[in-house]
Each structure stands twice: as C-alpha cells, then as structure tokens.
Amino acid sequence: MESKASPHPPASADVAADIAADIAIVGGGLVGAALAVALARHGIKVAVIDRVDPAAMVDERFDGRASAVALSSQRLLAAIGVWSHVAATASIREIRVSDGPSLFFLHYDHAQLGNEPLGFMAENRVLRRALACALQENAQHVLRLAPAAVTGFSQDADSAVLTLNDGRRLRAQLAIAADGRDSLVRDLAGITVSGWSYPQVGIVGTIGHARPHDHIAHEHFLPAGPFAILPLADERASDGTAVHRSSLVWTERSDAADAYLKLDDAAFLAAIAERVGSFLGPLHLIGPRFSHPLGLQFASRYVEKRLVLAGDAAHGIHPIAGQGVNLGWRDVAALTEILVDAQRLGLDLAHPSGLARYERWRRADNLLMAGVTDILNRLFSNDVGPVRLARDLGLGVVNRLPAMKKLLMRHAMGTVGDLPRLMRGEAL
C-alpha cells in the first residue's frame, strides 16, 4: 500500500539508519506493554513506540483510575511474569447488582464456583509499574522508543515500515497498532471504524470510606446509567490505621455530567452518598476526578497485510461490564499464541493464515461483548415503567437460577469460550 505521511515534519533532518525488529508495537499502555512482555519472554524481538515518556509509566502519583482484572486476565499476567510485580490489588469475591430502588437484585458469590475470586481491582498506576518492571526484565528482547510518535506507515512484500517523528524508520515483519481508540496507525492504514456515541459521560475517581468493602463490587442501575462502587486495596494512614478505598465508576447523562464535575468536594460527596447509600459509612474523596465521553466503536477489519489491530484500536465498548481492558488482554493472549507458534514453525510472523486466525478468533468474541454491553446499557439506562418492571423481574428470576448464575459468573471471570492457552493458565 502507499505510504501516508503526517502533516508534522520530522523533528530532525539527521536521519539515522533503519531500526529492525521482529515485531513493532505502537502504543505502550496496558495492552501494548503486556503484548511486548509476552512476546519478548518467548524470544521475539519487539520494538515499542510510545508517545509517553517511560518515567511517566512508573510515576507513583495517584491518578484515581483503576481497572477490573478478570480471573483469566490475571492468569495471563501471571504467566508472562507481570502479576508478581502487581503490588496491591483487591479481589472481587461478590458482585451485587441492583436496579435503582427496586427490591429485586442479582448476587454473585465466588464461593458458588470454588475458591478463586471473580476477579481483581487494580489501580492503573500499579499495573503500569508492574508492566515496566516486566519490560525491564526482558530488556534483551525489547527496544523502547519513547517518547516517540509515528508519522508514516507503509508496507512492502517483506516488512512493515513505521516512520518516526525524529526521521528514523522502524522496519519489522509485523506492526501491531495498540495505540487506542484514536489510533493513528489504523487511520494511516486506511482501516475505518463504525460505531456511535452514547449520550453519557463516565466519571471516575476513588473514594475512601469508614467501613470495609468486604471485597464486594456493587453496581446500581440508575436512569442515567450504571453507577459502580468497586473494591480497592486498603492503604495505611500515617498513624498506621487502614484507609478503606473503592473505585467509583459513575455513568451520567452528557447534559448533566459537567454540573456534577464542577461541584465542590462536599457537594460531590453528597451526590455520591445519595447513590451509594450508607452501607460504607462516611465517605471522603481521594485524589482527582476524571471524566470521558462514552461510545462504541469497531474496526472494519483487524488485519491489513503486515498490520494487526489490538485493544482499543480494534474495539471500544461501554464500561458497563468492566470488560474493556480484558478484551484487549485476550487479544494479547491470542496474538502471542499465534506468533509464538509461527516462530517455532519458522514461518513469517505475518503469515496470512495466522493473521486470519487471529481476526476470526478475536473479532467474534469482541463483537459479541460489544453487542451485550450495548444492549445492557440501553435496557437499564432508562426509567420507562414497563421496561423497568421487566428487567427487575428478570434480575429476580436469574438470582433464583443457580445454573444460570454460575454461567454468568464464569463469563465475568472470563473463563468461558475459546480461550487462548495463556488465559487458561497453560504454557505455550
């Protein structure tokens, strides 16, 4: 395909020789860094291009954001040597789902399946530091180009070529775009996306509370959207006492979110308490608030010759089920399995059959989850009387069907379906 150039010129006219790698990964976030570690551990030479300075990846400053880590994702991170560096997490042992003031609810308890938790909650800063440690441990197979940006992309018979903003060129058998929903590499390759915006904004942050959360995740469905309180690891105050913490994921109407974000701390806490209730005791804010618009998008294809999309570059879904980054880690596990198998067979890492397998494998799973989250959001984010009655009765019925509950819990754990070996706890 023809190379497409960015309107921004190279930072320097002093162009060094081409850089070579087996795999070039654009984006060093939770998905891109995990993929780099997984491939490097299996002897594949990886170059990671990231706009973010590596020092920011290990910054200890609190930023308020956290991710739900499904059990299958934890198995992946453990298998590639990342989880041992995750300093503090809270396991999710129960999930309680309620619909506003309704008396009907749905209760998941991990003990109904065994001893393993349903998942974990980890702060993004903790995950980033763990990934940075794992990248360092595999430095002999990882070249980090950061801060750096891609300004051009082209492909020929033998390689993908990425031009950087300093004029250098990176040549690899395969390029992987893991650079987020607004992926530049995806756009340069001419891959289109389809989807829509929701009339909602996600408000995220962290709250402290007087009573322990007991490892229970709470999701309240309100007319504006889901309102979730998710357990985080305790911290220690200067006097040694435990500070109980939870992650807040608040979906609010777009036309109302800005007013909530502008409230002072006391009024903002009062709005949270109105939605949470009193079961956690007095609340206080920890760190800043963040917000982002919500939408669904899906790439028209995941593969373009020597380019593959992964993570949010391929798919972006509503956060209602907390599965966004977990879908990205499933992409990581599937790609790693396919590429390691190709390497062992002596095949080109961009062999068409392997890439076609990746697209079939991941596209169906991701599309299904996108559809489920979209339907759930539309079903529960309204206050239409007949719809509210139907969904409340549905919650009540499912809560009384043990077999159905167990299946839904396994879906939340990410342990059903055609899983890559790393997500089943198996070595490659």
The pLDDT value given to residue 131: 97
Per-residue DSSP letter, 15:
P
Where do we find the tokens 């903003």? Answer: 165
What tens digit of pLDDT does each residue of 249-298 get?
A: 999 999 999 999 999 999 999 999 999 889 999 999 998 899 999 999 99
3-state helix, strand, coil in the chain (%, to 5): 35, 30, 30
The pLDDT value given to residue 81: 97
What tens digit of pLDDT does each residue of 54-69 get?
A: 888 888 776 678 999 9
How far is the C-alpha of 40 from the C-alpha of 31, rounded, in Å? Answer: 14
Q: Which residues of the chain register pLDDT less than 70? A: 1-17, 62-63
At residue 400, φ and ψ (nearest 5 deg) are: -105, 10
The pLDDT value given to residue 62: 60
Residue type, 35: L
The pLDDT value given to residue 14: 41
Cα angle 376, 379, 381; round to 5: 95
The pLDDT value given to residue 9: 36
Q: What SS3 state is found at 291?
A: strand
The pLDDT value given to residue 396: 82
Radius of gyration over every alpha carbon of the chain, rounded to an integer in angstroms: 22
Provide DSSP, 24-91: EEE--SHHHHHHHHHHHTTT--EEEE-SS-HHHHT--S----EEEEEHHHHHHHHHTT-GGG---EEE
The pLDDT value given to residue 16: 52
Residue type, 241: T
Task: Name all domains of the chain by residue range, CATH numbers in brackets.
Answer: 4-88+120-195+296-380 (3.50.50.60)
Per-residue DSSP letter, 348:
-
The pLDDT value given to residue 379: 87
User: Which residues, 6+ apart, have CB-to-CB distance to 19 below 8 Å?
Assistant: 47, 143, 145, 168, 169, 170, 171
The pLDDT value given to residue 99: 87
The pLDDT value given to residue 15: 44
